[in-house]
Amino acid sequence: MILTVTLNTALDVTYRVPALRPHTSHRVTDVRERPGGKGLNVARVLAALGHEVTVTGFVGGATGRVVQEQLTGTAGVVDALLPITGTTRRTVAVVDARTGDTTQLNEPGPVIAPAEWSAFQEAYEGLLAGADAVALCGSLPPGVPVGAYAGLVRTARAAGVPVLLDTSGEALRRGVAARPDIIKPNADELAELTGSHEPLRATQDARRRGARSVVASLGAEGLIAATPEGRWRATPPARVSGNPTGAGDSASAGLLSGLVEQLPWPARLTRAVALSAATVLSPTAGEFERPAYEQLLNRITVTGEATAA
């Protein structure tokens, strides 16, 4: 079983409009909803790849009930979300059908009470006992300590469970010091962490700060990875346009599934880039187009070299 943690869950709403223009009214041509937050996105992709997944984090209020109702119908995903008194946030993606561009609106998360945070930590430790790997993903809702991910990484390491960490800012800086197995920042997050805007140098610096492996997203240009086994770059055959919501989470799912399946790093990166591009092509935020994914698998270019033994 793979465990994914989403402390700031959401209900993702996608609107499609013929053309998005400021200061005007718009007729929405299509509306789609699905459970969101980075860890839930990762879980859905992992389940589609055939892995058993348990999701945990916080959920509350009417929006939270919708999230859990929709999770019930997701094959391969077990709901272990903890109830809170606050209300789960929503995110709104507005897709311009003319250009393919997306405008994202993210609500703030609910405040987590100290007792709710304590209950989560206890539940998390119990869930680790049956996990092959864990993904810690996304922003921290108000009330959760900024060093929360660092503590969760240490708990997983003590249990012998490999950890992928995907967050940003101070939460990432502190989390890296706890020595996660993989971190997956985007280029801006990596630059903020290390102070370097040169991706190769920045990935190496992030490893020195504590991460065992660093896989950085370069957006439409693919991924770059620095690991104990070597350094690689994986690129898609061409730039794809569409809704990028969840594309990075699909990449995380590819990396995590590759870790559990013990794939070599080039194969993990190929899967991650193909999933990410296929997610951009999907009409619904955070889901991937399987035919596109299967076609892309044979078209990803991976360059680099393994570290000499």
Q: Which residues are catalytic?
A: 249
**22 Cβ partners below 8 Å, 6+ apart?**
none
Please tell me the distance from the alpha carbon of residue 106 to that of residue 108, in angstroms, as a whole number.
7
Distance (Å) of CA 182 to CA 86, 136, 172: 31, 10, 12
DSSP, residue by residue, 215-283? EEE-GGG-EEEEETTEEEEEE-SS---S--TTHHHHHHHHHHHHHHTT--HHHHHHHHHHHHHHHHT-S
DSSP, residue by residue, 90-109? EEEEEEETTT--EEEEEPPP
108 CB neighbour count, 10 Å cutoff: 10
Please tell me the distance from the alpha carbon of residue 34 to that of residue 69, in angstroms, as a whole number.
10
Structure tokens at 166: 């995907």
DSSP, residue by residue, 153-185? HHHHHHTT--EEEE--HHHHHHHHHT--SEE--
- Helix, strand, or coil (residue 60): coil
Q: In sequence order, what E strands does 37-132 have?
A: 53-59, 77-79, 82-83, 89-96, 102-106
Distance (Å) of CA 286 to CA 7, 70, 303, 306: 17, 14, 27, 32
- Helix, strand, or coil (residue 296): helix
